[in-house]
Amino acid sequence: MRSFVFSLRTPRVVFGRGTVAQLPDEVAALGKQRPFLVAGERHAVALPGAVGRFTDVVQHTPVEAGDRAAEAANATGADCVVSVGGGSATGLGKAIAARLGLPQIAVPTTYAGSEVTAVLGETADGVKTTRRAAEILPATVVYDVDLTLGLPVALSVTSGINALAHAVEALYAPDANPAVDALAVEAIRKLAAGLRGIARRPDAVEARAAALEGAWLAGLALGNVRMGLHHELCHLLGGTYGLPHSATHTVLLPHAMAIRDGELRRVADALGAPDPAAGVYDLITELGGPTSLRELGLAEADLAVAGHPEVLGPAWAGRRPAGTPDFHWLTDEVVASFAKAPDPRLRELMTGLVVHLHRFANDHDLRQDEWEKAIDFLTRTGQISDAKRQEFVLLSDTLGVSSMVDLLTNSRTPDTTPSAVLGPFYVPGPPEAEHGDDLGAGLPGTPLWVDVAVTDLDGTAVADAVVDVWQSNKDGFYDVQLKDLEGPSLRARFHSDAEGRVRFWTILPSEYPIPGDGPVGQLLAAAGRHPYRAPHLHFLITAAGHKRLVTQLFVDGGAYLDSDTVFGVKDDLIVDFAPQEGPTPDGRTVEGEWRRVDYTFRLATV
Ligand code: NAD
């Protein structure tokens, strides 16, 4: 569980095409009249009423440039700043806003995302220092998709991956929360789709809009949490060696991701890739982006100064992060081989099984020897199974699959008695028994009087229901496990009487370990799991016109109720096996303590 305190810090956002025409209205909406424009020569934006313009926009916001720009703005008596351009123009606008306390309207033309963060990174003497302050956050952001149509593909890719890095870091930020997670995941989806579209057709408006929306969401996500190692390293390399900002992000991101342990699954899911770090690397190569610090001009000797060799070493060389290669084509081929199965349910189940099995192998980089071990395990599970021993059921039980299928099948009828797994010890066609019989005759154990009724959901007795009962002996063994035992023991078939009732004697069931001499027992031992089942009686009830009920009654207060090894215990099935002394319901003489259990099974009609 995460604890968090959250309030979204966001500027007002105007998004669309041609929205730059709304700048005068946005200036007026802030109650201002004297905007100062920060825009490089490239961005010829007409801003009526502008009192001045600063065009010397440079990367990494040198402190000296910020000072000059602020002086220029101050000299004009400006009452707000309007920046138009990439992260560098936005940064310079922030530098002015922070120095003069003026509100800023940012018009981004790249995917840097700076426009929605309260962070300013400034460089002095080769060191980039970032600071965060409320007055640094622009008041308004005007996204105009038209201004991005001419951003070259190479810059679009690196800038877009810069935005992707914001989203990725937001996902593993120590102060992340579900709202930030949602922003980040959606940002990754939009950025990947948008960038792929731009690589195909740079002036595709929808792709541009998707990338810009993604950049906005990614910036918003990171702007509301703390930054991590990836941004730290990018700032270090950018400030110290003057490496281009977005290209550095692009190269480093997969490697910063690769050292994180399994927590970026959502990135992989959003990208539709098996491995998050390798997935981002593959996206960058697909888009033609840079993959090594070497190609950005960093000397290998400089790596030692920067530290973090586990990230920077492979990033310098441009190695694809370890991770599994993308073998989707194989999954697709196998899925396609089931596409013509005449039975649609078979097709659906086999497709799902193949997809999940492939994904499992891929996600865990399954090795040949491990798979062979698994095959050997399944082979032994089959070999030890016969008419009396069902190791596959035991496997299904101990993996919780039996309970999962049981829940899916039976949880949709909440008014009926809850079901529980059949287990591996049911033997069809148990011996017929009469009411009042003693299944435990001659066996050691505490005598138990069982008085159960079978009814409809409205309480009407169900007569002539077939009630199969089976259980373990005092030592926890079922008859089928005892090699020297002839014939069935502690199992029987009753027929409910006119009142729907079944009454008989048996012995109190005890907790027991599931068989430990087969592959399933060995698996539990290897996993350090105990093999015990909580004490219970099994029932399988069938009646004409009713749904079959397979269930178990657990002894209240019994051992392992909270850690049953087959995950079969349900609260409604924990019942009082009440201790008794003295006279018995059928007049039988019992020395010392005996127990009784009373229960009504509610069956659904078909
Ligand atoms: P940039 O602003 O330096 O722009 C890169 C180049 O692209 C420039 O030559 C620019 O003129 C050109 N360009 C921009 N928009 C264009 C367009 N639409 N068409 C054609 N050319 C265009 O680079 P950037 O990657 O956008 O921003 C990098 C800077 O932003 C760095 O200083 C970085 O520290 C800062 N930044 C800050 C934050 C933050 O939250 N504080 C976030 C991201 C980036």
The 10s digit of each residue's pLDDT in 424-446 is: 899 999 999 999 999 998 899 99
Please tell me the predicted confidence (pLDDT) of residue 223.
96
Neighbours of 459 (CB within 10 A): 10
What value, to the nearest 5°, has the Cα angle with vertex 90 and ends 85 and 96? 130
Q: How many CB atoms lie within 10 A of CB 606?
A: 9
Number of Cβ within a 10 Å radius of residue 334 = 16
Counting every residue written for the chain, the total comes to: 606
87-90 long-range Cβ contacts below 8 angstroms, 24+ apart: 87/112, 87/113, 87/114, 87/162, 87/245, 87/246, 88/40, 88/57, 88/58, 88/59, 88/60, 88/61, 88/245, 89/38, 89/39, 89/40, 89/43, 89/57, 90/114, 90/115, 90/138
Q: What pLDDT score does 550 carry?
A: 94
CA of 105 to the centre of ligand 1 (A): 16
Tell me, in angstroms, the distance from the centre of ligand 1 to residue 87's CA: 4
Which pLDDT does position 72 carry in this prediction? 97
Lookup: tokens for 138: 């622009």
Taking alpha carbons only, the member of 470, 505, 506, 502 closest to residue 488 is 470
pLDDT of residue 47: 93
CA–CA gap between residue 401 and residue 393 (Å, rounded): 9
pLDDT of residue 387: 85
Residue 89 CA to ligand 1 centre (angstroms)? 7
Give the nearest ligand 1 atom to 158 CA.
25
Strands 536-542 and 466-470: antiparallel
Cα of 487 from ligand 1 centre, angstroms: 83
- How far is ligand 1, taken at its centre, from the CA of residue 345, in Å? 53
Q: What is the DSSP letter of 501?
A: E
Take atom 5 of ligand 1 and give the residue whose Cα is closest. Answer: 86
List the chain residues with pLDDT less than 70.
323-326, 363, 411-412
- State in Å: Cα 599 to ligand 1 middle: 73
Would you state the pLDDT for residue 359? 82
pTM attached to this predicted model: 0.63
Instruction: Report CA(84)–ligand 1 centroid distance (Å).
Output: 10
Contacts (Cβ under 8 Å, ≥6 apart) of 44:
none
- Distance between CA atoms of residues 96 and 102, nearest Å: 8
The whole-number pLDDT of residue 257 equals 95
246 lines ligand 1 (CB under 6 A): yes
Q: Which amino acid is at 10?
A: T
Out of 227, 245, 252, give the residue to mutate to test ligand 1, the one with the largest number of ligand atoms within 8 Å of its CB.
245
For the chain, percent helix, then strand, then coil, each to nearest 5?
40, 15, 40
Pocket of ligand 1 contains residue 110 by CB under 6 Å: yes
147 Cβ closer than 6 Å to some ligand 1 atom: yes
Contacts for 263 with CB less than 8 Å, ≥ 6 apart: 171, 172
Structure-block tokens of residue 323? 């991770």
Neighbours of 167 (CB within 10 A): 31
377-410: b (≥16 Cβ within 10 Å) or e: eeeebeebbeeebbbebbbbbbebebbeebeeeb
CA Rg value for the chain: 35
Q: How far apart are the C-alpha atoms of 459 and 605, rounded to whole Å?
A: 12
**The two three-digit tokens of residue 409, written as one number:** 């099948």
Question: How far is C-alpha 486 from the geometric centre of its chain's CA atoms?
Answer: 52
User: At CA 536, angle to CA 530 and CA 537, rounded to 5?
Assistant: 145
- The pair of structure tokens assigned to 379 is 């082979």
Tell whether ligand 1 has an atom less than 6 A from the beta carbon of residue 83: no
Helix 87-100 with 245-258: angle, nearest 10 deg: 100
- Give the closest residue (by CA) to ligand 1 atom 6: 86
The pairing of beta strand 447-455 with beta strand 594-602 = parallel
The CB of 59 under 6 Å from ligand 1? The reply is yes
Backbone angles phi, psi at 583, to 5 degrees: -55, 150
Supply the pLDDT for residue 412: 67
- Atom 37 of ligand 1, residue of closest alpha carbon: 114
Q: What is the CA(65)–ligand 1 centre distance, in A?
A: 15
| pLDDT at site 324 | 56
Q: Which residues contact 98 (CB under 8 A, 6 or more apart)?
A: 120, 133, 135, 136
pLDDT at 45: 85
Q: Which of 297, 295, 287, 292 is nearest to 319 (CA)?
A: 292
